[in-house]
Structure 1
Amino acid sequence: MILDIYSRLKKYIFCSSGAVYKPSNIAMEECFEKGENPNWGKYGIDKKEAEDFIINSGIPYLIFRPAYIYGENNNLYREGYFFDRISNNKVIPLPFGNNIKTQFIHIDDLIRIFESAMYNKSVSKIYNVTNAEIISWEYFIRKCGEVLGKNPIIKKIDINQIQLEPRKYFPFRDVTYMLDIKQLVEDGLYIPNISLEKGLERAYRWYIERKPNLNDIKMMEKVDELEELFQKRSNCF
């Protein structure tokens, strides 16, 4: 029944994720091996299975695999977490030691890519989508601080000395996550161009206007514990 409906479509556009790829420390092309990735767990597996179903269905499709999505109306406690900590002069524990590099795409850029896909002649292809800028976690946090006009209080947590899973105190997984978008460029689809600085400025304006009540139960308890530890150490001097 569903396939009968889909068969009448000229093109089915599916938003997948870079989480379908196996772990890698390099920028992944679309042909990079897919499979189980312990960093993303069931989410990545579910996206992969959805992709496989679409690819094998005979439906004309375009599949997009974004990197981290950020911007206005984000329901995940990510950039909002940093805005909260910086504005309240709270310590931001930062996992340190893995030399992590990653990429982001602003939600408006992602939407424009979907729009361009409707008019592009490409069909039955897969594309990585992200802003080409490669950044570190510290760079991201400091950009958040620039948007607020305040210096973030960053305390680096040496992952080789403190045996605590970074995701317990940080809103992102501490893994390299980079995507090659050469195919997107070559096929003439919209190219993400909202810089991290501009994107965060827009996200912060939304944050101020809407005052979203977001949290991350998985990490907040450990963040507070680490903050207390830093305060005790400071009192010793």
Structure 2
Amino acid sequence: MKKILVTGGTVFVSRYIAEYYAQKGDDVCVLNRNTRPQPIGTTLIEADRRNLGDILRHYTFDLVIDTAYTARDVDLLLDALGSFGDYILISSSAVYPETAPQPFAEESPIGPNSYWGRYGTDKIEAERALTERAPGAYILRPPYLYGPMDNVYREAFVFDCASLGRKFYLPKDGSQRLQFFHIRDLCRFMDALLEKRPARHIFNVGNRDTVTLREWAELCYRALGREPEFVEVHGDVEQRSYFSFYDYEYRLDVTRQYELMDSVTDLETGIKEAWEWYRENGDKVNKKPYFEFIDSNLNG
């Protein structure tokens, strides 16, 4: 049994991680301000991560799993921690500039990405801060994460379209490609890291195969036993006004991930799991006014 600290723990990525390790029998502490329901089977350390004082000083953690957004987040946590063993930072593919050659490998240059803006540059600084102060830490760079507990209005938007019997408005011909990674596979890969302890400390993670927007929407409809009727949207309509993803196609080279973990969740299976969770937890998703825009600007 490991003593694990998970920062956050109240929404999607950190919540799933916390419950995953708690279900495995580990002693999981979550660090947050206690403004939301806590993950099942965990112990709350109630604090603002930017004002920690001595609250963590007397704990000893075998593993810290951090979803820090900025270098300041990392520095303040490291300043506050007592003894700890391993440290894993969940970073992002947003650290790669869209102008760099693809697929992005771990050695690819990192830098500002005009689609992700400050989010990406802050993640870069968080990575640098951690590497300077804890060079033995691991850094993971996922693409779009999905699965149960996802509070972002992506698959859930398509599920709503399918359940309401709506047509699906598809950017252009729907050939833009997306890369995904199931949240459970992210946890499984962390398990593989801790077991095999590779010398490399930065990893791209994700499914090797990408999927088109059209194929993704079809899988989401199929999870409800339905087939979409597509309407293609051409012209100068801003894609994020009516659709869940930026008009930005990228791909990560995940060769090194597959050397440590050679299987991932099939996308169709993962989307079905996401639907099973969403139909019981629709109130936990941050919905956006896509329908309003479609009905006012695209429908008819």
Normalising by the smaller structure, the TM-score range is 0.7 to 0.9
Match of 1:211 in 2: 282
Q: SS where residue 11 of structure 1 aligns? A: strand
In 2, Cα distance between the equivalents of 1:222 and 1:6? 47
User: Does 2:137 align with 1:61?
Assistant: yes
Q: Which moved more, 1:164-173 or 1:6-15?
A: 6-15
Larger strand proportion of the pair:
2
Query: Judging changes above 3 Å, is the alpha-carbon distance between structure 1 residues 7 and 29 closer, same or farther for their aligned structure 2 residues?
Result: farther
- The unaligned stretches of length 5 or more in structure 2 are 1-75
Which of 247, 259, 268 is the equivalent residue of 1:174? 247
Partner residue, 2:257: 184
Say if 1:93 and 1:226, in contact at 8 Å, map to a contact too: no
Name the structure 1 match of 2:196: 120
Which residue of structure 1 aligns with residue 167 of structure 2?
91
Q: Which moved more, 1:118-127 or 1:71-80?
A: 118-127
Cα distance in 1 for residues equivalent to 2:108 and 2:197: 24
Quick check: 1:89–1:153 contact (8 Å CA) kept in 2?
no
Tell whether 2:91 aligns with 1:16. Answer: yes
**Alignment match, 1:29:** 105
Counterpart secondary structure, 1:198: helix
The more displaced of 122-131 and 38-47 is 122-131
Comparing 8-17 with 105-114, greater Cα deviation is found at 8-17
2:273 aligns with: 202
- 1:97 offset after TM fit, Å? 5.6
Kindly tell me the number of residue pairs found equivalent between the two proteins.
Answer: 224
Is the 8 Å Cα contact of residues 71 and 107 (structure 1) preserved in structure 2?
Answer: yes
Q: Flag the structure with higher helix content.
A: 1
Q: Which residue of 2 aligns with 1:234?
A: none
- In 1, the alpha carbon distance for the partners of 2:272 and 2:101 equals 29
TM-score (norm 1): 0.85
Q: Alpha-carbon deviation of 1:192?
A: 4.6
Residue 49 (structure 1) aligned with residue 125 (structure 2): yes
- For the residue of structure 1 that corresponds to 2:230, the secondary structure is strand
> Which of 1 and 2 has higher RCO (CA within 8 Å, sep 6+)?
1
Give distance in 1, aligned partners of 2:115 and 2:123.
14
Which residue in 2 is equivalent to 1:134?
210
Shift of 1:219: 4.0
SS at match of 1:13: strand
Task: State whether residues 174 and 213 of structure 2, in contact with CA within 8 Å, keep that contact through their aligned partners in structure 1.
Answer: no
Distance 1:180 1:74 in 2: 24
- Deviation of residue 121 (structure 1)? 1.6
Output the CA distance in 2 between the equivalents of 1:173 and 1:71.
19
**TM-score of the superposed pair, with normalisation by structure 2:** 0.68
Contact 2:146 2:183 in 1 (8 A): yes
- Aligned-partner SS, 1:10: strand
**8 Å contact from structure 1 (residues 20, 34) kept in 2:** yes
Other-structure match for 1:39: 115
Structure 1 residues 209 and 4, CA gap change in structure 2 (3 angstroms)? closer
Name the Cα RMSD after superposition: 2.3
User: Do the aligned partners of 1:142 and 1:152 also contact (CA within 8 Å) in 2?
Assistant: yes
Q: Tell me, yes or no, if the aligned pair for 1:60 and 1:124 is still in contact at 8 Å.
A: no
Q: CA deviation at 1:220?
A: 4.4
